[in-house]
Structure 1
Amino acid sequence: MGKARIATGVFLVTLVTGAMGYTIASAVLTYQDLGFGAEIDFAYIAQNYLAILDRRPEDAQLIHLIIGSFAAAGLMLSLALSGSALTRFGQTHWQSAREMKANGFFGAPGTGFILGKLGTPGSRAKYICSKVFPHALIVAPTGRGKTTGFVIPNLLTWQGSVVTLDVKGECFEATARHRAAQGDKVYRFAPTDWEGKRTHRYNPLLRIFELKDPARQQMELQLLATLFLQSDNDRVQGLLKGGIDLFVAAGLLAFQRKRPTLGEIYRIAASGGNKQKEYFARGHEVDNRAAKLIFTRLASTNNDTLTSYVSLLMTSGLDQWQNPAIDEATAVSDFDFRTIRKKPFSVYLVVQPLMVKPLAPLIRLFFSDLLSAMQEKDPGPDEPWPVMIMLDEFNRLGKMPIVVESIETLRTYRGHLAVVTQTIPALDEIYGENTRRALQGNAGVKLYLTPSDEKTVEELSKAVGKTTKTVVTRSQSIGKNPFEGRSQSTRTEESSLLPEDEARRLPLDEIVMVIDAQMPVRAKRIQYFDDRLFKAIHAAQTGELPFPEPGGGGPQGTLPLSMRAMPMTPPLDGSGGSEADVEAERQAADGQSSGKTDVAPKKTSPVVQAVIAEEQRQMEMDFGGQIADAETVGVNDEAQMRSAVDGLDDMEAMLREGDGEKLVGR
């Protein structure tokens, strides 16, 4: 309690006791003058005080004595009672409705995150909507109703674009028709929809491919790789860096081939039985100087280390693109995150619960690309719409440093981020305690639904804050006289506003909000299917769900860039699989017309034998010298190398066709 409040209390108590003294003095003076049967005139002293003071000094002294005694008694009593307040510890209390209104928590639904309600779901109580704080951290174990009480209500009311990780697909089914009815273009990105194959498509490389500066392309590829390629073993981070170098070089080569897809990067990195020969050939093929050096350096690396690079690159997340469904779903883009603030659209990334962990690299890549695209530039006058990002199952996605970094600045770019995790220890295991605390601090609002593990219970109890409670201790000694030996002492001590035992038993329909620089809030959880507002919005939805067409989001003719981005796997048979044919297809996709290519004509079988001998000689060379020579490769050398690669392709094709014996005979 503050000193001003204590002083005010002392003054009021003294004033009240002084008034009591005035009443007694009025009665004494009336009875003295008129007898006990007279009616007391309480205004007599006030109206005649100066006359009494002048003509009846003895009565004036009596009046002063009575009023002064009562006032002094009140003063001493108030000081005695206020003495315990001077030893108060914490002063935390639950916010009242008046405080919440003053702090901006009663905004209209859709203007901020809807966090809870002051009453039961069926009541007309006010909704708690955060207008001041743009980000929220939700800690909710399984089965606490975070989807029905937080995610779906916000998807039904948010005014702007939304991107959500929809585990099980229930958010799409519950809200997609409403968002489509209010004007949003709705996209369902579900790469593992094995049965219906109803998924829109998304290619994170198109944004980088369209950059004009090759150096920036290289930097963006490296950043993208570090965002979604991760290893659980910290001891292999050095090898992972080598794998990321391979990813960058393969990406630049894929851009040169006009096939900017992760599937193409996977094929470049994984193709070829002899990796040293393969990467040396790719070094001759690529035009980008940085990629050329990377491929040549990799070709000079010993086979064991090179195998480790490739293996770690695959197990860190790139091996997902060996799956044709994921390859196809990420070959083109039906939506562009760079336009997400211009016109509202809704994107649901739908995965099944058991697929969250296997698809974690793709999910990390998806949201990392969203955050990167939003922060490329400040929103302009033609980008008025805010963006709500729902990142569910955050603790199962692996480390996402861009989220921790972006939450500090995302508000400037009209982004509103909700991070949902099950427990505090799950975040500590991935990010460490310091980074987790930074994430909590930048969230502004921390929403807790009945915690289950001890660490989260302890964290919640501490985060709510401390208050002061009065403890009365009574004691009695046993003796002959029952009235002797009794004592009582009173003291104040610090106590948690929400003790751990109470936090552990928090009712399932209640929420606790810890807010930066404010008192905590205790309120009710929303259940959209029982709530008056949300139940009505949900019931008003009509028509079919806005599923995409099976096999993709639409005709590719409307997306020229997507046409160029389609992956092109070389045919298994020998026909039509030459470098010249592939190059011709690439030029046709670009709308280019050329009467010739810089690919050498096919060679005959004797040349294949010469190539094999040349390969053995090259494998014995000092590859360190080749790094220096790679930058000065002449036209003839390059043509010879291409001829060698073509000859090897022919040899492999003939072996597949059962002509291996003929080749050996030659």
Structure 2
Amino acid sequence: DSFNAFMSLNERAARSALLDIQKALGPFRNERVLAATAVTDMAISSLQRRSVTIYLAPNITDMTVLRPLLTLFVQQVMDLLTREHNPDALPVYFLLDEFRQLKKMDEILNKLPYVAGYNIKMAFVVQDLKCIDEIYGETARHSLLGNCGLQLILGANDQVTAEYASRALGKRTIRYQSETRTLELFGRARRTRVEQIRERDLMMPQEVRQMREDKAILLVEGQRPILASKLRYHAIEPFKTAALASRQNTVPVPDVEMARALPVPATLPDYAVDGPDPRPGRIELDRHEVIDDAAFEASSAENVDAAVSSKERLVVTARKLKSVIAACLSAADMPMNQRISIQDVLAKTIPDPEEVGLD
């Protein structure tokens, strides 16, 4: 159906669609990408049957090339896990760090409201809310945050995020007392105290931006907001000892070339046969073969003579072929019984192996 729809487009629309297709298939021009996606040793459906951890950690320099593949993988996993409902399935946790780098994924937002019914949890990590607005828009951002039952704000360096955190924290009631003094007749002083009850933001936007580095705001659905202290694993026991032991007992990982090494075409034995004829005077040497200058000059002369004689024989055969074809064309109007058979034509036009030096 997609192919028929493409064929029914006009020329201008087809050209635009073709450019989009070429752009989408651009990563597969890379041989390493082809080698990595040609086979797989895991089944995505096994994520809900046994404990499996999948890491997607590309280099920063490769994000431009691999971004479409990462987006495709995440959407494909989400589609397969939500295809059938299995109440006994193991929970699956998606931790999408640098969510902005994956660009727009409408499939994620569409399935986010009901993934919890499939025992799937998702965590999105972004630098600020403007990152979501740039890709999905402000309306989609409100929908995304509305489906997050837990929100952890580690800090805010922009006004939009600070204002959102301030509104999410809510307000508190504070009491104000004011005192005024007046002088009455005969110089008597009179004091008046007024107490007022007002509302104030629990944390104003500027206070959110000025929050200490070791503090974090935790917003949990159905609970009051929490001003928590960050857990510094490298400074707090027993995590500090565990992290130190992990760094001191690292498992050596050998360097592995993931892509299959492809040979250089010029080093293949059939390259000289399938490729262009070697230049006159050029001879092929074995890797460990060493010849002197005299042997090289003698071999070059023999190759030149062989090339010239072979060319002369081919010229003679070509002239014979041309004359036979001309004679056949001139006799095309003769009756059928007078025409020569195809075997006779082939016998006269196709040279014998001895004529071209293939004996």
CA, structure 1 residues 503+308, in 2 after alignment: closer, same or farther (shift >3 Å)? same
Structure 1 vs Structure 2 CA RMSD = 3.0
2: CA distance between counterparts of 1:448 and 1:433? 18
Task: Indicate yes or no: 2:46 matched with 1:342.
Answer: no
User: Structure 1 runs of 4+ off > 6 angstroms?
Assistant: 478-482, 572-575
Q: Secondary structure at the match of 1:347?
A: coil
Q: Which residue matches 2:307?
A: none
CA contact (8 A) 2:130 2:160 kept: yes
Q: Which residue matches 2:136?
A: 431
CA, structure 1 residues 490+454, in 2 after alignment: closer, same or farther (shift >3 Å)? same
CA contact (8 A) 1:465 1:497 kept: yes
Q: Which residue matches 2:349?
A: none
Task: Indicate yes or no: 2:215 matched with 1:510.
Answer: yes
* CA offsets 1:632-664 (integer angstroms, 9 cap, x no match): xxxxxxxxxxxxxxxxxxxxxxxxxxxxxxxxx
Task: Indicate yes or no: 2:15 matched with 1:310.
Answer: no
CA, structure 1 residues 399+490, in 2 after alignment: closer, same or farther (shift >3 Å)? same
Q: Which residue matches 2:157?
A: 452
2: CA distance between counterparts of 1:396 and 1:480? 75
For 1:183-202, list aligned pairs within 5 A. none
> Given the alignment, which residue of 218, 221, 224 partners 1:519?
224
Q: Secondary structure at the match of 1:310?
A: helix
For 1:170-185, list aligned pairs within 5 A. none
* 5+ residue gaps, structure 1: 1-289, 554-571, 576-666
- Bigger relative contact order, structure 1 or 2, given CA contacts below 8 A and separation 6+? 1
Q: Which residue matches 1:322?
A: 29
Q: Which residue matches 1:387?
A: 92
> Given the alignment, which residue of 376, 380, 389 partners 2:83?
376
CA, structure 1 residues 395+501, in 2 after alignment: closer, same or farther (shift >3 Å)? same
CA contact (8 A) 1:458 1:500 kept: yes
2: CA distance between counterparts of 1:372 and 1:324? 27
2: CA distance between counterparts of 1:496 and 1:401? 35
CA, structure 1 residues 391+489, in 2 after alignment: closer, same or farther (shift >3 Å)? same
Compute the displacement of 1:353 (Å).
Answer: 3.1
Q: Secondary structure at the match of 1:351?
A: coil
CA, structure 1 residues 412+482, in 2 after alignment: closer, same or farther (shift >3 Å)? farther
Given the two structures, how large is their TM-score scaled by the length of structure 2? 0.65
CA contact (8 A) 1:441 1:516 kept: no
2: CA distance between counterparts of 1:380 and 1:546? 39
CA contact (8 A) 1:510 1:523 kept: yes
Q: Secondary structure at the match of 2:195?
A: strand
Q: Secondary structure at the match of 1:416?
A: strand
1: CA distance between counterparts of 2:128 and 2:185? 59
Compute the displacement of 1:491 (Å).
Answer: 0.5
Q: Letter of the 1:443 partner, please give it.
A: C
Q: Letter of the 1:495 partner, please give it.
A: R
Compute the displacement of 1:523 (Å).
Answer: 0.6
For 1:257-336, list aligned pairs within 5 A. 290=1, 294-296=2-4, 298-299=6-7, 301-315=9-23, 317-336=24-43
CA, structure 1 residues 505+296, in 2 after alignment: closer, same or farther (shift >3 Å)? closer
1: CA distance between counterparts of 2:131 and 2:254? 34
CA contact (8 A) 1:391 1:417 kept: yes
For 1:114-129, list aligned pairs within 5 A. none
CA contact (8 A) 1:357 1:396 kept: no
> Given the alignment, which residue of 455, 458, 462 partners 2:167?
462
How many correspondences in the alignment? 263
For 1:471-510, list aligned pairs within 5 A. 471-477=176-182, 484-510=189-215
Q: Which residue matches 2:69?
A: 362
CA contact (8 A) 2:32 2:259 kept: no
CA, structure 1 residues 531+335, in 2 after alignment: closer, same or farther (shift >3 Å)? farther
* 5+ residue gaps, structure 2: 261-270, 275-359
CA contact (8 A) 1:407 1:443 kept: no
Compute the displacement of 1:413 (Å).
Answer: 2.1
2: CA distance between counterparts of 1:321 and 1:367? 18
2: CA distance between counterparts of 1:467 and 1:543? 50
2: CA distance between counterparts of 1:573 and 1:468? 89
CA, structure 1 residues 310+470, in 2 after alignment: closer, same or farther (shift >3 Å)? same
CA contact (8 A) 1:321 1:327 kept: yes
Compute the displacement of 1:418 (Å).
Answer: 0.8
CA, structure 1 residues 359+488, in 2 after alignment: closer, same or farther (shift >3 Å)? farther
Q: Secondary structure at the match of 2:177?
A: strand
1: CA distance between counterparts of 2:5 and 2:26? 23
Q: Letter of the 2:135 partner, please give it.
A: I
CA, structure 1 residues 300+440, in 2 after alignment: closer, same or farther (shift >3 Å)? closer
CA, structure 1 residues 507+340, in 2 after alignment: closer, same or farther (shift >3 Å)? same
CA, structure 1 residues 543+314, in 2 after alignment: closer, same or farther (shift >3 Å)? same
CA contact (8 A) 1:392 1:420 kept: yes
CA contact (8 A) 1:378 1:413 kept: yes
Q: Letter of the 2:48 partner, please give it.
A: R
CA contact (8 A) 2:182 2:191 kept: yes
CA, structure 1 residues 297+453, in 2 after alignment: closer, same or farther (shift >3 Å)? closer
Q: Letter of the 2:126 partner, please give it.
A: T
Compute the displacement of 1:521 (Å).
Answer: 0.6
Compute the displacement of 1:392 (Å).
Answer: 0.8
Given the two structures, how large is their TM-score scaled by the length of structure 1? 0.37
Compute the displacement of 1:547 (Å).
Answer: 7.0
2: CA distance between counterparts of 1:322 and 1:482? 95
Compute the displacement of 1:378 (Å).
Answer: 2.2
Compute the displacement of 1:552 (Å).
Answer: 5.7
Q: Secondary structure at the match of 1:489?
A: strand
Q: Letter of the 1:337 partner, please give it.
A: I
1: CA distance between counterparts of 2:43 and 2:273? 38
CA, structure 1 residues 573+296, in 2 after alignment: closer, same or farther (shift >3 Å)? farther
* CA offsets 1:448-496 (integer angstroms, 9 cap, x no match): 0110000100000000111111111223357897752532211011111
CA contact (8 A) 2:87 2:118 kept: no
2: CA distance between counterparts of 1:329 and 1:481? 97
Compute the displacement of 1:535 (Å).
Answer: 2.9
CA contact (8 A) 2:153 2:218 kept: yes
Q: Which residue matches 2:296?
A: none
CA contact (8 A) 2:171 2:199 kept: yes
* CA offsets 1:188-229 (integer angstroms, 9 cap, x no match): xxxxxxxxxxxxxxxxxxxxxxxxxxxxxxxxxxxxxxxxxx
For 1:567-606, list aligned pairs within 5 A. none
